[in-house]
Amino acid sequence: MRGGIPDRVPVFPVITDMHTSYLYGVPLWQAGVFPRLRSDLLEMAVRQYGFDGFEMGAWVAPAPESKYEVVTDGGEKILRANGKPLLKLYDDGYPAAIEPEKQPLLKNVEQVKKLTYKMSEEIFKSGCFEETERMRKRFGNDAYISSTAAACFTMNGLVSRRGTEQAMTDLYDEPEFVHEIFGYLTAAAIEAAKAAVSAGADGLYIGDAFSSCSLISPQIFKEFCLPYYRRFVRALRPSGTDIYLHICGNASPILELMADTGVDAIEPLDPLGGVSVADAKRRVGHRVCLKGGVNTISLQYGTPEEVVEETKKVLSEGMANGGFILGTGDDIPRFAKPENIKAMGEACRSFGKYERKED
């Protein structure tokens, strides 16, 4: 993560309950609702696949008296929480919101200025990083654990508070409003990140898919995203914790700007978004660690032999002189073949070794 040369390239893809719940036959909604189940599934998958690192979030457990049930209504499966419809469940396991999108929660700058957030001590005591603490104890030094901590657009950011279409137009029509929201979100994220570090996180993950050039221009990124990512990084530097930036989709036009944020690493080098590991290595590999690169489509539809060849190619493009972590171009797909994921890791352990020269 800090640009060094280890004995071999680490294996650290993006894996979430989307895949782990499928892998172990657990309903996806249960993994989303119950943090202990979610972390148990994650631990089993990390150990089964032999990953060197994984990510966790601030997971809040439901109240002890909460009751969940799945019922059939009009031919549809509905998840009820305390008797009220919560989600519609598809046959493939994906949940979907029942109610139409709510009206934007925030309408003007004055509303944003009145928002408050919890300080790190209060966040830590709330227990939302309890599973991070638990996984730290269970893995010890056998795995690198990072925690989701910051974003501007996603993760309860501008998009969830204004709606997708409105958020995009706000960038042009209401710039002062956007800056006010991003400032608030960044300040809140800094406190959450401090709590994650207290829980034992090795790294902090800035995840902001809406910041890719699949949706916004490099100019918009530079004006609205770059200052707040930098602010987050500067605030957390004294903790000594690694920080990396996840922008999937078309991130190729902003690789230099991603490095300008001051993070230690950037990911996921999404080939489906047109990002090339070789190009990223040439342009910013001397400035930041690179993480990712393996096509997620290959993991779902390819063969183990094809995955091995792709992994070898990604390694050949990224591992020279260190500062590279093998990962996936985005989340491991829900129905990715376990044998393909294993093949990726085994290929990295075989072909991702560095030669050691005697002094």
Q: What is the pLDDT of residues 48-76, one digit of tens each?
A: 999 999 999 999 888 888 999 999 888 88
pLDDT at 87 over 90: no
Cβ atoms of 152 and 158 within 8 Å: the answer is yes
In this structure, of 46-55, 141-150, 234-243, the range with the lowest mean pLDDT score is 141-150
Residue predicted with more confidence, 60 or 254: 254
Tell me the β-bridge partners of 84: 81
Assess whether pLDDT exceeds 70 at residue 322: yes
List, in sequence order, the alpha helices (H) in 14-157.
17-23, 28-33, 35-49, 109-113, 120-125, 130-139
Which residues face 85 on adjacent strands?
Answer: 80
Per residue in 205-231, pLDDT (tens digit) is 999 989 999 999 999 999 999 999 999
Mean predicted lDDT score pLDDT of the chain: 93
Whether 154 shows a pLDDT value over 80: the answer reads no
The answer, yes or no, to whether residue 329 has pLDDT greater than 90, is yes
Highest-confidence segment of 73-82, 84-93, 149-158, 304-313: 304-313
Alpha carbon 56 to chain centroid, angstroms: 8
Q: Considering only residues 160 and 346, tell me which one the structure prediction assigns the higher pLDDT.
A: 346
Q: In the prediction, which pLDDT does 101 show? A: 53
Residue 96, judged by CB atoms within 10 A of its CB (0-12, 13-18, 19+), counts as exposed
Q: How many angstroms separate the CA atoms of 150 and 187, rounded?
A: 9
Paired with 289 in beta bridges are 265
CA distance from start to end of the chain: 24
CATH 3.20.20.210 fits 17-66+104-351, yes or no: yes
